[in-house]
Chains A and B, each alone.
Chain A
Amino acid sequence: MPVIEVTNLHKRYGDLVAVDDVSFTVSAGEIFGVLGPNGAGKTTTVECLAGLRVPDGGGVSVLGLDPRRDATRLRQRLGVQLQESQLPDRLRVAEALELYASFYPEPADPARLIDELGLGDKRNTPYKKLSGGQKQRLSVALALVGNPEVAILDELTTGLDPQARRDTWGLIERIRDRGVTIVLVTHFMEEAERLCDRVAVIDSGRVVALDTPAGLVSRVAPTQRVRFRPSAPLDDQLLTDLPEVSEVTRTGSQVVVTGTGELLHAVTAVLARNQIVAADLRLEQSTLDDAFVELTGHRPAD
């Protein structure tokens, strides 16, 4: 039985349709990504899962419970990390965790959680004095302190520096290894690619694709790009004559060859035959970024 079941979810604010028609299921132990451009309806969808909003249509079930009707029971088993949700300035790290731990029947050990999240030396630091990354980790800790079976994490790493982001990813993987099912809302492709077992791409309130990250990438035309700087003048014709090559462009001294199949091999063979050395040679393949652009027509945020 799936842990989360969303069927034809519909939610509007007045005339504005935030979520038009969203359906997906999440299995136990999965990291499920909800991906989409800003305003696509990601946050509204997870807010319905958390019982913070009442859907106008369709059904939502989490751990077999209705987030509104069985709110009390569900809240003991669900951890939620909300976007832009802060704490009082003067509240200290350990106090926050101990307070939230006291709400749950079988909480995690706050002191251990603090250490696990690398906040051990910030135990007595007031919230106001924490860095962005530390605040975010504390927020994740609060979502986990109740030992939830399901955790919803919304825009977990937005505003973090690259190192803090990678640290947080490691943390999410460790949480999953404990058997927690995770719903991760994000607009970072790299994050989805690294963490998620499956991804639902939402655009304008609808699921436009639902697959593994690799599956999504393979849907877009498998184009490749070879970039290099030739050691000697190079006639484009040599390359465009190759059946694998669809386009050759130049930016400064760099040549960019776009094509399919054994593109890299074909290009290097031609260069070798003409005694040209390719400096700074790089092969680029389609990424989730490309898939995202093709599916939604938007550029992902960077």
Chain B
Amino acid sequence: MHAFGQILKIEARLYLRDLPTLLSTVGVPTLILVVLGLIPALRKPDPLFDGQSFVVYFAPSLLVITLAMAGLNALPTVLATYRERGVLRRLATTPASPAALLAAQLVITLSAILASAVLLVLVARLAFGVPLPRHPFGFAAAFVLGTAALLALGLLVAAVARTTRAAQALAVPLFLLTMFFGGVYLPRFLLPDFLVRVGDYTPPGVQALLDTWTGTAPQPLHLLTMAVVAVAAGSLAARLFRWE
């Protein structure tokens, strides 16, 4: 436990020193929100978005950026790099376990995601009057399960990729698909209905985030899909993960 605390402290410091990753994970979604929010037309309610403004409609997609950056980009890259460079192997020769390093990385990733989400929700509320999630429990459930599903996919990438390069080769397509189906590249109302339906079930499940943010209860099937992905990818990753 002592070793885990020390590793967590050091890994957190290393994370904070990596400014580009920190900014793109925690800062960029809120930055985009601010840019969009400054355009008055996008703050007006519109029947196209069920009477919501575009900013409200788009906010869950901004969360997708954070989740994809942290879970599918940063996490697998760091873990694959640590394995490739023998950091995990070296740790295996000490009384500390490499599992402690893995756990520390998960804690840091979750903290970054949480910080980014809180920042986004608060800035949206304070600067642009976007209401706080109206179905808080549903939102929490959708957020937690969506995060778990994406992190599990990230861990699966880290488990099967032998090198940093391989991890990125696997993670980049997943990252792009996640962003696309999460409505980041093209807002979802511009996508054909079929692709929007696919996006409902693609981690992290942007529709469940939107539903619960605007006050509807999440659809059980959306949440269940995320849970299934999280458990399936997570247990597969646990089985395939190699320390060296």
Does the CB pair A82–B86 fall under 8 Å? yes
Per-residue CB proximity of A77-120 to B under 8 Å, as 1/0? 01010101111101100010001101110000000000000000
Question: How many interface residues does B have (CB within 8 Å)?
Answer: 22
Which residues of A are found within 8 Å of B89, using beta-carbon distances? 52, 82, 85
Does the CB pair B82–A88 fall under 8 Å? yes
Q: List 6 A-B pairs, minimum CB-CB distance, nearest first.
A: A85-B86, A80-B93, A86-B85, A102-B6, A103-B96, A85-B90
Which residues of chain A (45-91) have a CB below 8 Å from chain B? 50-52, 72, 75-76, 78, 80, 82, 84-88, 90-91
Known: A72-B95, A82-B93, A95-B10. 15 other contacts (CB 8 A): A52-B244, A75-B94, A76-B95, A78-B93, A85-B89, A88-B82, A88-B87, A90-B17, A91-B10, A91-B14, A99-B7, A99-B10, A102-B2, A102-B6, A104-B95
Question: Bound state CA distance, A100 and B100, in angstroms?
Answer: 13
In terms of DSSP, what is the predominant structure of the interface of chain A?
A: loop
Which residues of B are found within 8 Å of A86, using beta-carbon distances? 85-87
Which residues of chain B (1-46) have a CB below 8 Å from chain A? 2-3, 6-7, 10, 13-14, 17-18
**Which residues on A are within 8 Å of B, measured CB to CB?**
50-52, 72, 75-76, 78, 80, 82, 84-88, 90-91, 95, 99-100, 102-104, 142, 146
Per-residue CB proximity of B88-119 to A under 8 Å, as 1/0? 01101111100000000000000000000000
In terms of DSSP, what is the predominant structure of the interface of chain B?
A: helix
Which residues of A are found within 8 Å of B87, using beta-carbon distances? 85-88
- By beta carbon, the residue of chain A nearest B244 is A52
Which residues of A are found within 8 Å of B86, using beta-carbon distances? 82, 84-86
- By beta carbon, the residue of chain B nearest A84 is B86
Question: Bound state CA distance, A87 and B85, in angstroms?
Answer: 7
Which residues of B are found within 8 Å of A142, using beta-carbon distances? 90
Query: Given A75-B94, A85-B90, A91-B10, are A102 and B3 neighbors across the interface (CB < 8 Å)?
Result: yes
- By beta carbon, the residue of chain B nearest A88 is B14
